[in-house]
Each structure stands twice: as structure tokens, then as C-alpha cells.
């Protein structure tokens, strides 16, 4: 939104009359930092945090949140929140005792799912704002944030959940399949990359122990995964990657966990729909070898031969080029 002289004047008057910078930002659909920049350019003294608190209290803007009594129960939505906090989300207490629970991400549907989960668990409306990113070639982000000490404390009852020390809370590990899947969906929404080329899902973290718990939880849901140490760049800490591949594993992940982020879910659906593994026995595939050779002699690629015969590209390659060459 372009700040015209008239809008700048209105922002100045509203602020002087006692509105907060954040309230003004929501009213004009701009970032709160833009409000303060506008005020400074118009020689308006910005209130200190103490003065802002006194004013907010006098106008009845400060109140204690009342959260739902049912928030103590571990549900799929609550486990989803904790999974996100172990990934891209965070809980943070500022020097001024602002108890924040927040998520910033480029995918609006992801941020909406996080905000809606918070609402269902705690009963509070969670505002969603667009955050402008000044770094060139970086996408703007969406943010869901709530400042509530009760939510902050409730989340931290389950552990620190910090990037390098988070663990899957024991209450989730001992809960139902649905609750486990909620945590995993929140974590993979945050950390997973869906690779269409190599047909796999990969999550990267510096927290090896946390990823080992994720791997174990996936295994309990009939989803095999591989955990390995990745390359270290510069002064970064060692990273570890957890990879899910193979049609059955991807299919089980899709059916049991999935993604809240549409672009990731669509990629996963495309991989599963296009992926043909060893759906036929060796005996049946062996009978197709003559057809494979003929189609190859006619100039068809391995991929096209696979589609023609209803088998995987890798299967075609193996039977024509490798260990089955010498077999009849």
C-alpha cells in the first residue's frame, strides 16, 4: 500500500489520539514498522513501551486471555502445533515479557492451518499478517502470532522444543496413531522438501536425536526412512537428513500423514500417481523381456517402454542392461 500524504496525516492523527502502532497497521493493512517509519518522518514522538502499556491499560486494551479448559488434552491439533514448533514455529519471551507463539512461512495455507489449530485448542482468534521481506529475491511471508502467557507456558510443559534440542514429547509417543500423525505432519510441513526428480521426501535438521525419534515414529506407521549425516558447509553445525522414498512408503505417508501445504501435497500426489515400482513378480517381468528388447530396438526410451508395459523405468533398465542380460 502506498503511503500518500493524506494517509500519513491520518496515521499521525490516529496515533496521537491513542491508537497503537499495531492497531493502525491492521487498519491500513500495512506492516507495523511502516507505521513507525511514517510517524518518525512526520516528527511524531513514538511512545516508549512503558508509556504504550499505560495507555493501553487505560483504554482497556490489556486483558488476560481466557483459554479453553480442554487445552490440557493432547489432540491431533495440539500435536500438530508442537510439530510445527519443532520446525519453523517458535515460542519466545521478549525482554519486555511478551510471551509469543508464532509461525512465519511463505505458504499461507500452512500459516492458516497453524492459526486454526491454535484456535481449536485454545479458543483464541489468531491474527494473520503479511510480512514484507526487504532482502532481494526473497519471498514475502505470512505470519500467525499470538501473545499469550498461558499458551506459551502450556507449550513449554512438553519440553524446550528448540531447534537443536527438541524431542517428540512422551505424551505424543504414547498416544494414538492420529496424534502421532498430527505431530509428524506439523514437523514435515515445516522441514520437508518434496523432490519430484528423485521421488522422495527429505527433512533436514541439526538435531540428530530428534530425527531418530521421527524415524522411529514413522516406522511404527509402516513408513521406512533413511537417516544420514549430510555435508557441512562453512561454520554450520553438522546436519542430518531423513529421507522417505519408495512408492509404498510414500503412499503410506500420503494416506496417514500428508501435508497441509497444498504445493507439497500436490507434488507428493504426482510422484505416487506416476511412480511404478516392482508391481509384477520377477517371473512376470521376465516374460516381458522380449517385448522390452523389441521396443528398445524401435527407439523407445526406458521410460516409454516402462509406460507401455506397466512397469518401472528402473526395472526396464535392469532387465535390459544389467544382471538379467545373461538370463533367458
Give the chain's domain count: 3
- Provide the percentage of residues in the chain whose pLDDT is more than 70: 89
Q: What's the confidence (pLDDT) of residue 155?
A: 97
Same domain for 127 and 236? Answer: yes
Using the predicted structure, report yes or no on whether residue 276 has a pLDDT greater than 60: no
Q: How far apart are CA 58 and CA 81, in angstroms?
A: 34
Same domain for 39 and 187? Answer: no
Q: How far apart are CA 196 and CA 198, in angstroms?
A: 6
Q: In this predicted model, what pLDDT tens digit does every residue of 279-307 receive, in sequence order?
A: 445 667 788 889 999 999 999 988 888 88
Q: What's the confidence (pLDDT) of residue 322?
A: 60
Read off the pLDDT of each residue in 174-178 and give the average, rounded to a whole number: 96
**Which range, 30-34, 135-139, 262-266, is most confident?**
262-266
DSSP state of 100: E
Residue 292: give the domain boundaries.
282-321
Same domain for 269 and 289? Answer: no
Residue 129 lies in a domain: yes
Q: In this predicted model, what pLDDT tens digit does every residue of 216-245 receive, in sequence order?
A: 999 999 999 999 998 765 557 789 999 999
Instruction: Give the distance, in angstroms, between the CA of residue 212 and the centroid of all CA atoms in the same chain.
Output: 19
Residue 326 lies in a domain: no
Same domain for 199 and 75? Answer: yes
DSSP string, 208-221: HHHHHHHHHHHHHT
Same domain for 174 and 306? Answer: no
Same domain for 106 and 161? Answer: yes
Same domain for 135 and 167? Answer: yes
Q: What's the confidence (pLDDT) of residue 60?
A: 56
Residue 63 lies in a domain: no
DSSP state of 145: E
Same domain for 169 and 218? Answer: yes
Q: In this predicted model, what pLDDT tens digit does every residue of 120-134 receive, in sequence order?
A: 999 999 999 999 888
pTM of full prediction above 0.95: no
Cell 500459516 identifies what position?
111
Amino acid at each position: 500500500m502506498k503511503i500518500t500524504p493524506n494517509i500519513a496525516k491520518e496515521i499521525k492523527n490516529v496515533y496521537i489520539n491513542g491508537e497503537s502502532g499495531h492497531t493502525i497497521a491492521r487498519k491500513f493493512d500495512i506492516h507495523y514498522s511502516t507505521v513507525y517509519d511514517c510517524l518518525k518522518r512526520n516528527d511524531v514522538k513514538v511512545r516508549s513501551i512503558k508509556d504504550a502499556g499505560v495507555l493501553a491499560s487505560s483504554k482497556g486494551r490489556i486483558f488476560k486471555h481466557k483459554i479453553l479448559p480442554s487445552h490440557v488434552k493432547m489432540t491431533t491439533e495440539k500435536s500438530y502445533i508442537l510439530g510445527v514448533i519443532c520446525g519453523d514455529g517458535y515460542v519466545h519471551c521478549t525482554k519486555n515479557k511478551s510471551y509469543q507463539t508464532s509461525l512465519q512461512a511463505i505458504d499461507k495455507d500452512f500459516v492458516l492451518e497453524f492459526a486454526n489449530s491454535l484456535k481449536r485448542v485454545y479458543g483464541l482468534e489468531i491474527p494473520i499478517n503479511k510480512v514484507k521481506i526487504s532482502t532481494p529475491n526473497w519471498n514475502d511471508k505470512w505470519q500467525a502470532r499470538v501473545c499469550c502467557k498461558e499458551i506459551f507456558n502450556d507449550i513449554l510443559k512438553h519440553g524446550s522444543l528448540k531447534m537443536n534440542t527438541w524431542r517428540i514429547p512422551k505424551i505424543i509417543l504414547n498416544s494414538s496413531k492420529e496424534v502421532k500423525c498430527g505431530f509428524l505432519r506439523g514437523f514435515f510441513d515445516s522441514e520437508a522438501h518434496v523432490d519430484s526428480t528423485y521421488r522422495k521426501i527429505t527433512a533436514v535438521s541439526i538435531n540428530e536425536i530428534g530425527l531418530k525419534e521421527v524415524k522411529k515414529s514413522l516406522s511404527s506407521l509402516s513408513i521406512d526412512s533413511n537417516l544420514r549425516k549430510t555435508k557441512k558447509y562453512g561454520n554450520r553445525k553438522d546436519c542430518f537428513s531423513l529421507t522417505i522414498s519408495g512408492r509404498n512408503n510414500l503412499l503410506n505417508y500420503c494416506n496417514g500423514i500428508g501435508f497441509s501445504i497444498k504445493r507439497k501435497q500436490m507434488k507428493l500426489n504426482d510422484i505416487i500417481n506416476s511412480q511404478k515400482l516392482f508391481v509384477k513378480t520377477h517371473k512376470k517381468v521376465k516374460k516381458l523381456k522380449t517385448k522390452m528388447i523389441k521396443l528398445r530396438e524401435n527407439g523407445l526410451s526406458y521410460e516409454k517402454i516402462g509406460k507401455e508395459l506397466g512397469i518401472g523405468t528402473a526395472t526396464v533398465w535392469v532387465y535390459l542392461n544389467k544382471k538379467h542380460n545373461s538370463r533367458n
